[in-house]
Structure 1
Amino acid sequence: MQKNKLSLKDIPGWAIILVLFGGLYIAGLHTEAIGQVQRLLLATGVMKADVPEPAAAVNYHDAGESAASGSADMVGAGFQLVSLDGKAVPFESLRGKVVFMNIWATWCPPCIAEMPNIQSLYEKIDSDKIAFVMLSVDEGGTEKVKKFIDKKGYTFPVYMPASQFPQEFHSNAIPTTFIISPEGKIVAKQEGMAEYDTKEVRDFLQSMVKE
């Protein structure tokens, strides 16, 4: 009796995918692989970040003028950050600048997917007037995060929380991105991954810059 030979075409597609992702998981590459797939989705342009019209920035300035001298009115007042080189940075020190803050982690595939786009945005923006805060919520210190950033070659500023996380920055999703006005008010919030290097986002950020 002739034995049936098992060929690749006889194996169900779901089984091949399961084995593939099982191998990636064992090798520790599953996060990167999923991130690459999601990055292709971002490249289609269907997930652009939702920001207000640039003209709305005038209203934010007007609303914040009366509170401009009181740091207690600033979102995240008292929050402390630490850079990857160990430098302490009070969040209040960013007052007077537009703040682009992205909350992320090395284990988060959509975070990894949107990072090249954020780097591209960072390279096109005047960092003297617009502060980037890439806030990692990884546990275990800065070494893991620093290794990840160095490997990827990103140059945007990366920080980790050094005090209790402010209630204003809590979110049901990661990544989450906040845009904060020079007066310290949250003017845009994006939960989940998105495309940020767009004309709409660049124009909105620039429209809030104080001359």
Structure 2
Amino acid sequence: MKKTIGIFAGMLLGMSSMAQSITIEGDLAGDLKGHNKMYLYSRTYQDSADINNGHYTFKIPYKDPMFLMLLPQYIQAERQMYVPFGVLFDKPVTYTITSDISKGMNASVVKGSEAAELLLAYGKEKSEVYGKISKALQSEFGTPWMEETDPKYAAFEKRQSALQQQYLLPLLQTLVKQHPNSYAAVYSLNDARDIATIAQQEQLFASLSKEMKATKEAQEFHQFGEGLRNSAIGKQVKDFSLPDPEGKPVKFSDLKGKYVLIDFWASWCGPCRKSFPHMREVYQQYKDKNLVFYSISIDKSKPDWLKAVAQENNPWLQSLDDKNIAGSGFAITGVPTTYLIGPDGKIMMKEVGFDESGNGEIEKKLAALLGGTVKSASKAIEKPTAAQTTKAIPMAPLQ
């Protein structure tokens, strides 16, 4: 009998751990003019709740930490400017979110976990820092933002990076040093990918607690440093194997001896999907030459990837990056990003974003190497403009 009770108790404990959930209790003050819905979303998640007398509730199954965005229907309906507002849900507890529609969602007060509160506080400090950086750039260049086609862009970008090192990096380093065992520190490491040196990234990772170092997101950040070394022009690509839509392995070394165009993309990436019609034109031009097209998706959701693959029906190799090759092998910070690999397996070129004019540098290189012509993605355009060059969408550790 005791054994039976023990087994039953064990089953109940197992069921309770499997049934963990997050509860969000929200209060939104102000006149919503009848637009009484709150949307909760990420790149791979969508939900909504009714707002009754200024109150709304979400109940979400919990498996791993999530970073989810909140958007009141009122903002969409009234066509107000929306500054994205997200909350880190790092444990299965009840979170309270108190907001006022007249002050904007970013003025919300969030309670429930220390990590959620820390990340919001860090976000507000970052906003102040970005204000300082913009003011400095405005003073030096006459503008806080500049098109890549501007002759001064190289100097502008260099100065911007220096200012980020001066103001933003110390903020991140302080957060990680003071809260090494917080998921807020792990999530914020994503900021370092563009502003910190490899040595600084390694020091940030080393500052984390043993528990936080073991998280998937921290491991992927650590691998990113390895990717920076591995993805330099002229580097030999380390062999890797990823599954195709049928689950069969695609081994990179099997492609050696040919030029390989690796396209990193995602189902949720609009510019990636927009680039495919022109990529199909380029593919048709070179499909009988010594060139292999290979699309690698960074999707976290396999069903979403498979659905997009079926919709696009691209006639070349497809794989899902289930081993973080994007980070450890190529240091991808946004999609679309394209690499051209030589027949010897060495990296020749890298292109971030999508040039819809058809005048991308890799496309020009293919024409020179394989005797083709650069094809415009639509009508003939002599010179690409900033409006025709689409920047990559940044990746996030929590999708």
Normalization by structure 1: what TM-score?
A: 0.57
Structure 2 CA distance for partners of 1:131 and 1:196, relative to 1, 3 Å: farther
- Cα deviations by residue, 1:26-60 (Å, 9 ceiling, x for unpaired): xxxxxxxxxxxxxxxxxxxx9xxxxxxxxxxxxxx
| AA at the equivalent of 2:245 | L
TM-aligned CA distance change 1:205 to 1:137, over 3 Å: farther
- Count of equivalent residues: 141
Q: Determine the structure 2 residue equivalent to 1:115.
A: 276
Looking at CA atoms only, which structure, 1 or 2, has the larger radius of gyration? 2
1:82-111 C-alpha deviation (Å, 9 max, x unpaired):
111111011111111100011000111111
CA distance 1:196–1:124, change in 2 (3 Å): farther
Query: Which residue number corresponds to residue 74 of structure 1?
Result: 236
| Preserved CA contact (<8 Å) 1:136 1:160 | yes
Residue 79 of structure 2 is matched in structure 1 by: 18
Is the CA contact (8 Å cut-off) linking 2:263 and 2:338 kept in structure 1? yes
Which of 345, 364, 367 is equivalent to 1:200? 364
* 1:138-177 mapped onto 2 (5 Å cutoff): 138-141=299-302, 143-165=303-325, 167-177=328-338
Aligned partners of 1:119 and 1:156 also within 8 Å: no
The corresponding residue for 1:7 is: none
Residues 118 and 197, structure 1, Cα contact 8 Å, conserved in 2: no
Q: Tell me, which stretches of 5 or more residues in structure 2 are unaligned?
A: 1-74, 83-148, 150-234, 372-399
Q: Cα distance, 1:130 vs. partner?
A: 0.8
Aligned to 1:90: 251
Cα 1:196–1:146, aligned 2, differ >3 Å: closer, same or farther? farther
Structure 2 CA distance for partners of 1:94 and 1:180, relative to 1, 3 Å: same
SS at match of 2:340: strand
CA contact (8 A) 1:103 1:134 kept: yes
Structure 2 CA distance for partners of 1:156 and 1:78, relative to 1, 3 Å: closer
Give the Å deviation of 1:136.
Answer: 0.5
Taking only aligned residues, the RMSD between alpha carbons, in angstroms, comes to 2.9
Aligned counterparts of 1:196 and 1:134: Cα–Cα separation in 2: 21
Give the Cα–Cα distance (whole angstroms) in 2 for the partners of residues 162 and 94 of structure 1: 19
Q: Deviation at 1:127?
A: 4.9
Give TM-score scaled by structure 2 length. Answer: 0.32
How far off its partner does 1:164 sit?
Answer: 4.2
User: Aligned partner of 1:192: which letter?
Assistant: G
Aligned 8 A contact 2:266 2:298 in 1: yes
1:106 equivalent to 2:167? Answer no
Supply the AA of the counterpart residue of 2:370.
Q
Q: 1:200 to 1:164 in 2, by over 3 A?
A: closer
CA distance 1:175–1:195, change in 2 (3 Å) = same
2 CA distance for matches of 1:189 and 1:120? 20
SS in 2 for 1:110: helix
